[in-house]
Chain A
Amino acid sequence: MLLEAKGISKSFGGLSAVSEVDLTIGKEELVSIIGPNGAGKSTLFNLLTGHIRPDKGTVTYKGEDITSRKPYDISRMGIGRSFQKLNIFPRLTAFQNVQASLFSAKKKNHKLFADSCRMLGDEVEEILQSVGLGGQSDTLGGLLAHGDQKRLELGIALALNPELLLLDEPTQGMSPGETVETTELIRGLVRARHISLAFVEHDMSVVFGISDRINVLHQGMLIFSGKPEEVKANEEVQRIYLGKGEK
């Protein structure tokens, strides 16, 4: 197992957001996490990446306990993530957005006097290309179209050269066409780079299209984990989440 969460729980002021969740992500596995709004999906991601500390339970990554590590430490170990809400560097150019991340990954960001202008330029351009932002290097992040900002965030995460990528609603706010395109893009990227992927998603076509395994969260609890066809066949999941139309 690449990542393993055991019995992690978190409550906010008496309200249990995540409770006793066990989650595993294998090497090069594509895992999705679904559940109604408020099921605790984003909280779960925040627990895995050190953004918030669990009240109970442990998270191990490559056999190492990372439960109380800081986010920057966890990122350095090879876990990249994106966020549900757009989370980029708006007043830096697309190029600089990715470059800043790459500086960190290559341990160059403490260099005080080197000229950063085109440093690692080829690699930055390659990453921008790979997420479909080839011609947009000089555009300020904040001025990109919504879908492009989402892809830029993916680029920022990829620049870390992660082994595990956690994407929180990577196609949120995209048109159906863009969603298909981005889903294909993500699948292609993680396969080519041998990255393990865990993602939160509402769009069922995306979820069933690319997941090796689907985890269903409900009211903070993991109620089911299995292959797409098993999830489709599970009655409890049907009842609380998928609805009849999704069969």
Chain B
Amino acid sequence: MTGVGMNRISLLGTSPRNGMMLLGFMIVMVALPYFLGQSWLSITTEMLILALSASALNIMLGYSGMVSFGPAGMYAVGAYTTGVLMEKLGWGMLPATLAAPVMAGLVGALVGWFCVRRSAVYFALLTLAFSQIIWTVVFQWYSVTGGDDGLVSVPVPDFFFEITNCYYFMLAVVSVCLFIIWKIVNSPFGMTLQAIRENPNRVEFIGVNVKRYQLASFVISSMFLGIAGSMFCLFSGSAFPDYAYWVKSADMLVICLLGGIYNFFGPLVGTVVYTVLTKIISEYTMHWHLVLGGIIVLIILAMRKGVVGTLANYWANRKSAAA
């Protein structure tokens, strides 16, 4: 058995076949507004943003082996940066959105500096603690963040009130971000992160300053989380303390685990599975949390490597069996 199906996925290489698949997928995404109703188009837009958040988290989780319980903190920093700058300081949309990854990156650097000093469960708890601190700040700082009322009238341009426009904008931003993340995780830097994930002690002995790379991973992940938060602020025209709450972090973690963390496409597929399940189940029962939880437990038990990881393995095994 070879490792092709596991790390370096051949799904999106440079071969013509893969290029065609990607092109086909993008055509479908561009054509979606012609097929979907307003409500599903809105859900799909949310999914795009959620997929970006989960992919950003997965830079740490899947590629660097750093289990963060606090991605929502950075997501909220992005959302509030854009929200506060536009609503309170009257900034234009463009600078306010560009400021989001910068701010999230700076906060990420500060928080990350403390967190990477510890590993495993201590790292996870530190990230949780810091994200709860961010939540508390957002919740209490009425004059700036609006406290528990949140920011409810972020003056987003009229352009975004039309859901189709909003969808296309998000599709463009998320596609560009995912492309950049793809480049990063498949670069020598990304390979070094994966080596750290596999065996941080060994990596020290091939001349890599592990903490520095973990911090870089933390900052990059935070920046993309910040962009996702900022996009959600534009999408909803609002920002709430809930964005920073641990439940939001848990959503992102579950999505990554559902889809598979050792695969670039895991978080993307996880987002679709999670969102669609949520929407469908909640139409049938009030106790949808219970049903959803049960289904997630079953999927994770049956597919230990997540949906994508399991399918990729199955595919690779079939291929090698046929060969």
Give the interface of A toward B (CB within 8 A): 49, 51, 70-73, 75-76, 80-81, 83, 87-93, 96-97, 99-101, 103-105, 108-117, 119, 138-140, 143, 156, 159-160
Report 12 cross-chain contacts, Cβ distance below 8 Å, ordered by A residue. A71-B205, A89-B194, A92-B191, A96-B3, A96-B7, A99-B191, A100-B206, A101-B206, A109-B208, A113-B187, A117-B8, A160-B207
Q: Is the CB of B3 within 8 A of A100?
A: no
A96: contacting residue among B191, B199, B205, B206, CB under 8 A? B191
With contacts A99-B191, A110-B189, A114-B188 known, is A139 near B3, CB below 8 A? yes
Q: Distance in Å from the Cβ of B248 to the closest Cβ of chain A?
A: 28
Interface string of B201-219 (1 = CB under 8 A from A): 1111111111001000000
Q: Distance in Å from the Cβ of A62 to the closest Cβ of chain B?
A: 16
B208 partner residues in chain A, CB cutoff 8 A: 72, 104, 109
Q: Is the CB of A119 within 8 A of B206?
A: no
Q: Is the CB of A116 within 8 A of B207?
A: no
Q: Is the CB of A104 within 8 A of B3?
A: no
Query: Is residue B250 within 8 Å, beta carbon to beta carbon, of the partner chain?
Result: no
Q: Is the CB of A111 within 8 A of B7?
A: no
A112: contacting residue among B187, B195, B202, CB under 8 A? B187
Query: Is residue B186 within 8 Å, beta carbon to beta carbon, of the partner chain?
Result: yes
A101 partner residues in chain B, CB cutoff 8 A: 206
Tell me which residues from 258 to 291 in chain B have a Cβ below 8 Å from any Cβ of chain A: 262
Q: Is the CB of B199 within 8 A of A88?
A: yes
Q: Distance in Å from the Cβ of A48 to the closest Cβ of chain B?
A: 12
Give Cα A39–Cα B140 distance, bound, in whole angstroms: 60
Query: Is residue B70 within 8 Å, beta carbon to beta carbon, of the partner chain?
Result: no
**B interface, size bucket:** 20 to 34
Give the interface of B toward A (CB within 8 A): 1-4, 6-8, 13, 180, 183-184, 186-192, 194-195, 198-199, 201-210, 213, 262
B205 partner residues in chain A, CB cutoff 8 A: 49, 51, 71-72, 75, 80-81
Q: Is the CB of A92 within 8 A of B194?
A: yes
Give Cα A113–Cα B184 distance, bound, in whole angstroms: 5
Q: Is the CB of A116 within 8 A of B199?
A: no
Q: Is the CB of A91 within 8 A of B6?
A: yes
A81 partner residues in chain B, CB cutoff 8 A: 205
Candidate in B6, B184, B195, B203 with the most chain A CB atoms within 10 angstroms: B195
B2 partner residues in chain A, CB cutoff 8 A: 93, 138-140
Q: Distance in Å from the Cβ of A246 to the closest Cβ of chain B?
A: 33
Q: Is the CB of A116 within 8 A of B190?
A: yes
Q: Distance in Å from the Cβ of B180 to the closest Cβ of chain A?
A: 8
Q: Distance in Å from the Cβ of B208 to the closest Cβ of chain A?
A: 5
Q: Is the CB of A104 within 8 A of B183?
A: no
Closest residue of chain B to A119 (Cβ to Cβ) is B188
A75 partner residues in chain B, CB cutoff 8 A: 204-207
B13 partner residues in chain A, CB cutoff 8 A: 117
With contacts A89-B198, A160-B207 known, is A113 near B183, CB below 8 A? yes
Closest residue of chain B to A71 (Cβ to Cβ) is B204
Candidate in B186, B201, B204, B213 with the most chain A CB atoms within 10 angstroms: B204
B4 partner residues in chain A, CB cutoff 8 A: 93, 138
Q: Is the CB of A100 within 8 A of B195?
A: yes
Q: Is the CB of B191 within 8 A of A116?
A: yes
Q: Distance in Å from the Cβ of B177 to the closest Cβ of chain A?
A: 14
B207: contacting residue among A51, A104, A111, A112, CB under 8 A? A104
B213 partner residues in chain A, CB cutoff 8 A: 109
A93 partner residues in chain B, CB cutoff 8 A: 2-4, 7-8
Q: Distance in Å from the Cβ of B76 to the closest Cβ of chain A?
A: 26
Q: Is the CB of B210 within 8 A of A72?
A: yes
Give Cα A160–Cα B208 distance, bound, in whole angstroms: 11
The 10 closest A-B pairs by CB, nearest first: A89-B198, A75-B207, A140-B3, A100-B195, A71-B204, A109-B192, A76-B207, A93-B3, A138-B2, A101-B206
A80 partner residues in chain B, CB cutoff 8 A: 205
A92: contacting residue among B7, B188, B204, CB under 8 A? B7
Give Cα A196–Cα B5 distance, bound, in whole angstroms: 39
9 more A-B residue pairs beyond the given contacts A87-B201, A112-B187, A113-B187, with a C-beta to C-beta distance below 8 A = A71-B205, A92-B198, A100-B203, A109-B188, A109-B192, A109-B208, A109-B213, A115-B187, A116-B190
With contacts A103-B191, A117-B8 known, is A90 near B198, CB below 8 A? yes
With contacts A112-B189, A113-B184, A115-B187 known, is A72 near B3, CB below 8 A? no
